[in-house]
Amino acid sequence: MITELEQRLTNRRTTWAARHTLFDPSRHSVEPIAEAVAKAFVVKHHYSGTYPAARFRVGLFDDAELVGVAVFSVPASQKVLPRYADIDPREGVELGRLVLLDVCAYNAETWFISRAFRLVRRALGVRFCLSYSDPVERRDDSGRLVKRGHIGQIYQALNASYFGRASRSTLLLLPSGRVMSPRALGKIRRDERGRGYATEQLIRGGAPPPMRGESGESYVARVSGSFTRVRHPGNLAYGWRFDRHVALKLPSLPYLKVGP
């Protein structure tokens, strides 16, 4: 199911912002936040339970209470950003996570993201930002809905360029409905930095823990039966130019809409 409503995430549960209750900017502020604060918030509330390789983090505050986080991250590959814009990879970021709690009223995203963009431009000097919308819903092994599909309505409201679908892929779903990335599994197999966090993701997602003395390669092979493989048609790719002199590599397409 694809929805045009504004999604909220609290303790990894999805809710929707009511349109008759509008966001009040006078009560809110947007500020850079520390890595530890952003990571704890995202892991606790985002449906994936995971945190990307961050370059910059921004918080939305209701008075002194943190009610939203935007994480600008490093894409999965250095080739990703130059595929969409004529820039050096260091001149761009990905909006890797966006989480707003259910206390945030309707229209909070656009207000928050536009101000987060100003902060990341000022802090990093980046010229382009990429983000993806996943139109495919996900369910856990019991059939419970974990994540609804969405087409990037908020990105459209922020005048993003729409580039169409990213590459097709095969998702590895754990019993909880979480996606386990091949890169994280590779860290476990090769006993690389970050393997502990990746192993925690597997366990939280319903996989058994490693046995004492078990190698990473053996562990990944043993838990592979826990995965459900799902063919994904590709996320929807959106981008923003922070510098009008940046040339786009792909044409900007008409926005997708919900409904007939």
Instruction: For residue 172, give the nearest of 231, 96, 123 by alpha carbon.
Output: 231
Q: How many residues does the chain have?
A: 260
| Residue pair 25/105 in contact by the 8 Å Cβ criterion | no
Distance from C-alpha of 258 to C-alpha of 84, rounded to nearest angstrom: 25
Query: What is the rounded average pLDDT for all residues in the chain?
Result: 88
> What is the extent of the structural domain holding 6?
2-168+233-241
Q: Can you tell me which residue has the tokens 């994936």?
A: 48
State pLDDT tens for residues 142-159: 888 888 888 998 999 999
Q: Based on the fold, state whether residues 101 and 147 are members of the same structural domain.
A: yes
Q: Based on the fold, state whether residues 71 and 98 are members of the same structural domain.
A: yes
Distance from C-alpha of 175 to C-alpha of 140, rounded to nearest angstrom: 6
Q: Based on the fold, state whether residues 135 and 148 are members of the same structural domain.
A: yes
- Quick check: is 255 in a domain? no
Instruction: For residue 147, give the nearest of 47, 235, 69, 228 by alpha carbon.
Output: 47
**3-class SS at 117?**
helix
- Quick check: is 258 in a domain? no
In single-letter form, the type of residue at position 210 comes to: P
Least confident span in 58-67, 83-92, 170-179: 170-179
pLDDT of 19 above 60: no
Instruction: For residue 159, give the nearest of 110, 86, 208 by alpha carbon.
Output: 110
Q: Based on the fold, state whether residues 114 and 14 are members of the same structural domain.
A: yes
Q: Based on the fold, state whether residues 150 and 179 are members of the same structural domain.
A: no
Q: What is the SS3 string spanning 153-213?
A: HHHHHCCCEEEEECCCEEEEECCCCCECCHHHHHHHHCCCCCHHHHHHHHHHCCCCCCCCC
What's the pLDDT at 235? Answer: 94
- Quick check: is 69 in a domain? yes
- Quick check: is 45 in a domain? yes
Q: Based on the fold, state whether residues 118 and 187 are members of the same structural domain.
A: no
pLDDT range class, residue 182, cuts 50, 70, 90: confident
- Quick check: is 248 in a domain? no
Q: Based on the fold, state whether residues 159 and 204 are members of the same structural domain.
A: no
- Quick check: is 254 in a domain? no
Q: Based on the fold, state whether residues 204 and 127 are members of the same structural domain.
A: no
Instruction: For residue 219, give the nearest of 186, 183, 177, 260 by alpha carbon.
Output: 186
What's the pLDDT at 2? Answer: 42
| Residue pair 132/96 in contact by the 8 Å Cβ criterion | no
pLDDT of 116 above 90: yes
pLDDT of 240 above 50: yes
* Domain count of the fold of the chain: 2
pLDDT of 11 above 60: no
Question: Looking at residue 47, which CATH number applies to its domain?
Answer: 3.40.630.30
pLDDT of 7 above 70: no
- Quick check: is 61 in a domain? yes
80 burial level (CB within 10 Å; 0-12, 13-18, 19+) = middle
pLDDT range class, residue 12, cuts 50, 70, 90: low
- Quick check: is 204 in a domain? yes
Output the six-digit token pair for 15: 């809710």
Q: Based on the fold, state whether residues 17 and 103 are members of the same structural domain.
A: yes
Q: Based on the fold, state whether residues 23 and 57 are members of the same structural domain.
A: yes
Q: Based on the fold, state whether residues 163 and 197 are members of the same structural domain.
A: no
State pLDDT tens for residues 83-104: 999 999 999 999 999 999 988 8
Q: Based on the fold, state whether residues 193 and 118 are members of the same structural domain.
A: no
Strands (E), the chain: 2-3, 7-10, 13-16, 28-32, 54-62, 65-73, 92-100, 128-133, 138-139, 145-147, 149-150, 161-165, 169-173, 228-232, 236-241
pLDDT range class, residue 3, cuts 50, 70, 90: very low
